[in-house]
Amino acid sequence: MKFEEILSAVKASIWSLRDRCIGYLQLRKQRRLSRLIINELPEALLNGNIYLVYQPKFNLQNNNYDGVEVLLRWNHVRFGEIDRGELFRVVEKSGQVHSLTLWILQRVLEDQVGIGDQMLLPFNINVSGQSLCNDEFISAFCTLATKSLASIGVEITETAFIADARAALANLVRLSSIGIRISIDDYGSGHSSLAYLKELPADEIKIDRLFISGMTKSNRDPLIVRSTIDLAHALGMQVVAEGVESQATLALLRMMGCDVAQGFYISPALLIADLRVFIADPQNLHRLSCTGVSVTPSRAFWARDERSAGADRA
């Protein structure tokens, strides 16, 4: 064997060993995090390390707030902010997701009472697919929600229909029948299609931020967004754009006839006290209602033209 061949064989085995070490360390870290989440969750719920934040949604049709999305945060004393994706993956696996979501609903109802009827905006809670298929969870959720005058919505993703589509659909109908608004979350990020959406009693779809963040830079994303808006409207649903991070994106969405925008440009998720201050400040509504920004292609290209919209429908 030549020296070069021996050298490259040694290099290859060093790289492979390194990859296996990294994989092993990542697995160990993930296992440690899973154990931590399962063991420390009950205590964190009691001591306030787990808390809720609220992200406002802005209605582009009437220039007012449309509701808020409820998001969970866990600020761990040693590990800092716990990743939400990982957290919900673990609590779903350990079967704790139902009780955690009921805890969230209870908290939301208390927070809504605390801010008075100054704002009876719908508060959207994320409900995992596993919970949507669970009749007991849905009964408990409905009982709690109907005890209060609060306006509640749920956000679900299409994965809710993978395990037991019939149970998920039946429970969505139950939620909808007591006045809970239904949102289809992360639309476009999976294998969903509007054909399947027409079977669901959904009030709105939320277009995934994957398509929104590149809207002002790419040619394809705005086309996808605009055709999704048109199709959703044809099915009688409201459209929410997620991940709106700039004024240009907001202006483009407004031209396309999008109903609602959510994202860091509107506001990050806020503690309940800060949400109240944000909503009460007229300067925020003023900033969001202004459309003074130019977009490319030109306004005429994207604008919803009533005559052509009518011709399209005819």
Task: Provide, rounded to whole angstroms, the least separation between the CB of residue 245 and ligand C2E.
Answer: 4
Residues 188-227 binding ligand C2E (CB under 6 A) are 209
Task: Provide, rounded to whole angstroms, the least separation between the CB of residue 127 and Ca ion.
Answer: 9
Query: Is 55 among the residues that bind Ca ion (CB under 5 A)?
Result: no
Binding partner of residue 230 among ligand C2E, Ca ion, none, CB cut-off 5 to 8 Å per kind: none
Q: With respect to ligand C2E, which residue has the nearer C-beta, 171 or 301?
A: 171
Residues 167-186 binding Ca ion (CB under 5 A) are 185-186
Binds ligand C2E by CB under 6 A, chosen from 33, 36, 71, 170: 71
Which of 175, 75, 95 shows the shortest CA–CA distance to 135?
175
Query: Is 128 among the residues that bind ligand C2E (CB under 6 A)?
Result: yes
Kindly state the number of chain residues that form the binding site for Ca ion, as judged by CB under 5 A. 5
Tokens of 227: 């055709």
Residues in the chain: 314
DSSP-derived pairing of the beta strands 80-81 and 64-76 = antiparallel
| Whether the Cβ atoms of residue 38 and residue 90 lie closer than 8 Å to each other | yes
Query: Is 158 among the residues that bind Ca ion (CB under 5 A)?
Result: no
Task: Provide, rounded to whole angstroms, the least separation between the CB of residue 29 and ligand C2E.
Answer: 19
Q: With respect to ligand C2E, which residue has the nearer C-beta, 58 or 302?
A: 58
Ordered DSSP codes for the chain: --HHHHHHHHHHHHHHHHHHHHHHHHHHHHHHHHHHHHHHHHHHHHHTSEEEEEEEEEETTTTEEEEEEEEEEEEETTTEEPPHHHHHHHHHHTT-HHHHHHHHHHHHHHHHHHTGGG----EEEE--HHHHT-HHHHHHHHHHHHTS---EEEEE-TTHHHH-HHHHHHHHHHHHHTT-EEEEEEETSSS--HHHHTTS--SEEEE-HHHHTTTTT-SHHHHHHHHHHHHHHHTT-EEEE----SHHHHHHHHHHT--EE-STTT---B-HHHHHHHHH-HHHHHHHH------SS-HHHHS--HHHHHHHH-
Binds Ca ion by CB under 5 A, chosen from 55, 101, 112, 126: 126
User: Rounded distance, CA 70 to CA 107, Å?
Assistant: 10
Listed ranges 11-19, 25-33, 43-51, 69-77: which one lies at the site for ligand C2E (CB under 6 A): 69-77
Site string for ligand C2E, 77-96 (x = CB under 6 A): -------xx--x--------
Listed ranges 224-232, 242-250, 285-293, 300-308: which one lies at the site for ligand C2E (CB under 6 A): 242-250
Kindly state the number of chain residues that form the binding site for ligand C2E, as judged by CB under 6 A. 20
| Whether the Cβ atoms of residue 202 and residue 183 lie closer than 8 Å to each other | yes
* Cβ atoms within 10 Å, residue 72: 21
Site string for Ca ion, 236-265 (x = CB under 5 A): ------x-----------------------
Site string for ligand C2E, 245-284 (x = CB under 6 A): x-----------------xx----x---------------
Binds ligand C2E by CB under 6 A, chosen from 66, 158, 186, 204: 186
Task: Give the footprint of ligand C2E on this chain (CB under 6 A).
Answer: 55, 70-72, 84-85, 88, 104, 126, 128, 155, 185-186, 209, 243-245, 263-264, 269
Task: Give the footprint of Ca ion on this chain (CB under 5 A).
Answer: 126, 155, 185-186, 242
